[in-house]
């Protein structure tokens, strides 16, 4: 059975299993490429089973933020203050065409950067993520692929 949910459509037969590699994160219209290894928890609901008479009788739930953890590649033009103070919509576009966005996002902790790997480690939280229309994803993924040589 193919992997499928609202954010990630079923993979076609023979499709590569790679989902996340180098991604582009867009914050307030500025694009940042990440190092490989970025993760996105799409958020939504956390369910807790309720029990009565030793049987599950239902469930309660609580909302859960989406969480994006990644390391931006640093360039001489990188605006550390804009990253630190970011509030808005974060877009997450992979090299294989997955295009997801989340509203009401903030950078959780001040960005930490290191000369050891030349990156800025950040964590962004926001509303539960949603898929961006397929037409937009194809163009964005193609542009990303061309930009980083996929």
Q: In the structure encoding, which two tokens stand for residue 68, read together?
A: 């994006």
Give yes or no for a contact between 124 and 111, defined as CB atoms under 8 angstroms apart. no
Question: Please, which residues bridge with residue 113 across strands?
Answer: 120
Q: Which residue has the tokens 């950067």?
A: 113
- The answer to whether residue 40 scores a pLDDT higher than 70 is yes
pLDDT at 26: 82
For residues 103 and 149, give the distance between their C-alpha atoms in angstroms, rounded to a whole number.
Answer: 29
Give tens-digit pLDDT for 57-115.
998 889 999 998 888 888 888 888 888 998 988 888 877 778 888 999 999 998 887 77
pLDDT at 103: 92
Residue scoring higher pLDDT (117 or 52): 52
pLDDT at 14: 46
pLDDT at 108: 93
For residues 11 and 70, give the distance between their C-alpha atoms in angstroms, rounded to a whole number.
Answer: 24
Which residues are within 8 A (CB) of 84 and not within 5 positions of it... i.e. 6 or more apart? 107, 110, 111
Q: Where are the domains of the chain?
A: 23-148
Give yes or no for a contact between 10 and 4, defined as CB atoms under 8 angstroms apart. yes
Question: Please, which residues bridge with residue 92 across strands?
Answer: 25, 100
């Amino acid at each position: 059975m193919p992997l499928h949910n609202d954010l990630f459509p079923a993979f076609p037969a023979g499709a590569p299993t790679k989902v996340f590699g180098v991604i582009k994160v867009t914050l307030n219209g500025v694009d940042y490429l990440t190092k490989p290894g970025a993760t996105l928890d799409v958020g939504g609901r956390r369910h807790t089973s309720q029990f009565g008479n030793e049987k599950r009788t239902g469930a309660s739930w609580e909302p859960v933020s989406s969480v994006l953890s990644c390391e931006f590649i640093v360039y001489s033009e990188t605006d550390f203050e804009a990253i630190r103070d970011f509030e808005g919509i974060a877009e997450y576009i992979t090299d294989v065409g997955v295009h997801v966005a989340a509203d009401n996002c903030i950078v959780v902790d001040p960005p930490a950067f290191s000369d050891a790997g030349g990156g800025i480690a950040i964590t962004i939280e926001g509303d539960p993520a949603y898929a961006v229309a397929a037409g937009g994803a194809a163009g964005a993924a193609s542009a990303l692929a061309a930009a980083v040589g996929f």
